[in-house]
Amino acid sequence: MTGEGTMRAVDAPRRAAYDPSASDAELREAFLAGEIPVAVYGLGKMGLPLAAVYADVCGNVTGVDVDESVVETVSGGGCHVEREPGLPDLVADVVDRGALSATSDPVAAARAASVHVVMVPTLLDGHEPDLSTVEAALESIGAGLSPGDLVVVECTVPPRTTRDVVVPTLARISGLEVGEFGAAACPERTSSGRALEDVRGAYPKVVGGVDAESTRVASIIYGEITSNDVIATTDAATAEAVKVFEGVYRDVNIAVANQLARYAETLDVDVNEAIEVANTQPYCDIHTPGPGVGGHCIPVYPYFLAGAFPEVDAGLLHAARDVNDSMPEHTVALLEAMLDAHGVDGDAPTVLLLGLAYRGNVAELRYSPGPVVARELAATGARVLAADPFVDDWTEFEGVERVPMDLLDSQNVDAVAVLAGHDEFRDLDWAAFDAPVMDGRFLLPEDVDAPVYTVGGRWPR
């Protein structure tokens, strides 16, 4: 399904998306012919892959970003999002054939589009949801909204946001009401590093409209975007809740694993052996303990409930957050035990940290445990070295000595800790460090000729 044909899709006559008089087949054909222009607001790690797939399918997409360098890069067919298999070629292709363009003028893009897809960051202000970027995008979309438009919220938001924030904001600015335009929550269920695969259909696509027509149109559109099923929920709030619940499930279950790791250390049991065997029960899905939970998703989403709806007792969510947020400090305590067990006395051991990003093969540092471990370790008087091929800006890591990847094997260290499982670390000569390794992300192969420990694993007593 592409937007190619005798006439470039972008030159196709424009028609409404939100149109109860149109049959499913008419809407589907119009979308595939590029007659329903799409604007995607936010061309980041998630927005660019999404815009590229939309463009590959319908041939008529305008990407909008506030970052001029992003707009310039994408306009030239370039791809600023790294380590996404297939994305550079797809972006180059859809831009080359005029299926995708980019602009920093959100209102002009909104005026020209019939479908508006919001994929901007949704963050926290303390423990409260911060939807300022969504509201900024809505100001522009509202200014360019036309009857027959559909607004799609792909970024993760607290449940009820589409109904209680998006629709009223659009109505206030545009003077239109639902029934003249539609809105649907269609949350992105994608992971960095596999974005195209995920957008195209790794999981069913969840869509939930603020009314039946919004749900119908969103279902038709995403039926062409994904090769997987489209699950239409009762309403937008349910679709938003699905996404947030997925993230909360993950955060709480990582906390269970981290809590069990604490017991395993006391029991002198390897928690990972116990988890692996426990998970042979179909009802058991105990996650993996580690040095902490980062990224702008999993540590954030619990507050899209606890912070957004304080009237509800969120004891479990807060307890899980507390357990996960305690892991960087616990990791430092484990490192100190490891140094002690290996007779490294003295008050200034040298520790090499591998990976400051929140997980393997991503550059994101938000809420990452690595920087916390580095700071806590430095505070004990240790000399902290660190390497991370994904991190370019080291200004925030004062007191941490950066080690270039090509100099790793020449470091004289007392201990090594793997805090993010980047592929670049997999082939290191671990024996050459001649030091114990705390493998926080289960990166090392089994047969390493070095003392290897894990969070919650067996430790020398």
Ligand X SMILES: NC(=O)C1=CN([C@@H]2O[C@H](COP(=O)(O)OP(=O)(O)OC[C@H]3O[C@@H](n4cnc5c(N)ncnc54)[C@H](O)[C@@H]3O)[C@@H](O)[C@H]2O)C=CC1
Query: Could you tell me the smallest distance in angstroms from the CB atom of residue 321 to ligand X?
Result: 18
Residue ranges in 22-51 that form contacts with ligand X under rule CB under 6 A:
41-47
Partner whose footprint covers residue 133, from ligand SAJ, ligand X, none (CB < 5 to 8 Å by kind): ligand X
In the shown chain, the binding pattern of residues 247 to 286 toward ligand X, with x for contact by CB under 6 A and - for none, equals ----------------------------------------
| Chain residues 136-155 in contact with ligand X, contact rule CB under 6 A | 136-137, 155
Site membership for ligand SAJ, residue 297 (CB under 6 A): yes
Q: How far is the CB of 359 from ligand SAJ (least distance, A)?
A: 4
Query: What's the rounded Cα separation, in Å, for the pair 59 and 88?
Result: 17
Question: Which among ligand X, ligand SAJ, none contacts residue 321 (Cβ within 5 to 8 A by kind)?
Answer: none
Among 45, 116, 163, 189, binds ligand SAJ (CB under 6 A): 189
The CB-nearest residue to ligand X is 44
- Candidate list 290, 307, 328, 436; residue touching ligand SAJ; CB under 6 A: 290
What x/- string results for residues 310 through 349 when contact with ligand SAJ is judged by CB under 6 A? ----------------------------------------
- 66 makes contact, choosing from ligand X, ligand SAJ, none, with CB < 5 to 8 Å by partner type, with ligand X
How far apart are CB 364 and ligand SAJ at their closest, in Å?
8
Residues 78-137 contacting ligand SAJ, CB under 6 A = none
Min dist CB 46 to ligand SAJ, Å, is 8
Candidate residues 130, 164, 224, 246; the one interacting with ligand SAJ per rule CB under 6 A: 246
Residue 288 partner contact from ligand X, ligand SAJ, none using kind-dependent CB cut-offs of 5 to 8 Å: ligand SAJ
The one among 59, 295, 307, 370 contacting ligand SAJ by CB under 6 A: 295
Pairing of strands 452-453, 437-439: parallel
Q: Which residues are catalytic?
A: 243, 297
Contacting ligand SAJ within 354-383 (CB under 6 A): 358-359
Choose between 64 and 408: whose C-beta lies nearer to ligand X.
64
Span 47-66, contacts to ligand X by CB under 6 A: 47, 64-66
CA dist list (Å): 116 to 161, 181, 253, 278: 16, 11, 35, 46
Residues binding ligand SAJ (CB under 6 A):
156, 189-192, 246-247, 250, 254, 287-288, 290, 293-295, 297-298, 358-359
Residues binding ligand X (CB under 6 A):
41-47, 64-67, 70, 106, 119-122, 133, 136-137, 155-156, 188, 190-192, 296-297
